[in-house]
Amino acid sequence: MTFAKKRSYVAVVTCFHDDETLNLAASRAQVRRQVDAGNDILCAGTNGDFTALLFDEKLALTEAVLAEVAGKARVMVNVGAPSTFETVKLAQAVDRLGVDALSVITPYFIHCTQDGLARHFQTVADAVQTPVYLYDIPARTQNHIELQTALRLSRHGNIHGIKDSGGTQSTLQDYLSVAAEYPDFGVWSGPDHLALWALENGAAGVISGLGNVAPKVLAGLVQAFNSGDRVAAQRWQDRFSALRKDLYALGYPPAMVKRALHVLDPQVGASRQPALLPDTQQDAAIARLLADHGLTA
């Protein structure tokens, strides 16, 4: 697998009704908005409230996303769970739906050794036909895929890369060194402020949460890079970084992304409790911020 053309995925939000049941129509509208902008879709990721979704809901959401995308973009689904057993069961169920890739977040709550992590990912990759991508976000899971473990896993025939959400350039550099040795192992950048740097240093693409709020900015950045327009790409990156700094200064990033979308479209709904409750003062600040960044509906 080669990565000549860089791609932009958005870890799209999952929408809920006021009674906290899934709002598949609103979720499909968010998917449609991203596809229209030129982005691919990561379903049930961190910004998609995956920890609050039940097993069957993840499948129903994936089916709705696939129906909406209708082949116009790629679809990746996060199937990670705390145990290998549950992860395999979900991965196999999603595998049968015909998605393009599976994202597997490191186990959370359970403290894992590096050998335990390697066995976890190998077992999942052995159980499915769909390409598997590792997902490292140690600030949330307390488990980190170290360089030697990434090297070990890169040799597996069905592990095709990793999404790095470590938040630092150093972890991206580590994983990019693996990709340099194993070109079929794609590195996907999670930190939005490092998107352009990652692309310039060999990343396969970007998987963004902030892209929910600014889909055209993310798509513009990657498209400018693909066309060789470094100046335009830097302009898009500067705009993306400024939005990230201002929005995330208001609170926990995934919660701020969801609230920003709610301000733009109330059908997005809130997250399931005990997530952030609506706050009129905070929503007003978000509305002003969106206007300042030219992102009003």
What 3-state class would DSSP assign to 258? helix
Active site residue 258: no
Label residue 38 left, alpha or beta by phi (over 0 means left) and psi (-120 to 50 means alpha): left
26: tokens are 């609103």
User: How deeply is 6 buried, as exposed, middle or buried, from its count of CB atoms within 10 A (0-12, 13-18, 19+)?
Assistant: buried
Sign of CA dihedral 138, 257, 30, 289: negative
| Distance, CA of 43 to CA of 56 (rounded, Å) | 14
Q: Where are the alpha helices (DSSP H) in the chain?
A: 24-37, 55-69, 84-95, 114-126, 138-141, 147-154, 169-181, 195-200, 215-226, 230-248, 253-264, 280-292
- Residue of 6, 9, 58, 163 with catalytic role: 163
| Residue 131: count of CB within 10 angstroms of its CB | 19
Query: DSSP code of 38?
Result: T
Q: Which of 9, 135, 175, 258 is catalytic?
A: 135
With beta carbons less than 8 A apart as the criterion, state whether 265 and 295 touch.
no
| 108 included as an active-site residue | no
What is d(CA 70, CA 133) in angstroms, rounded to the nearest whole number? 22
Element (H, E) at 163: strand 159-164
Residues labelled catalytic = 135, 163
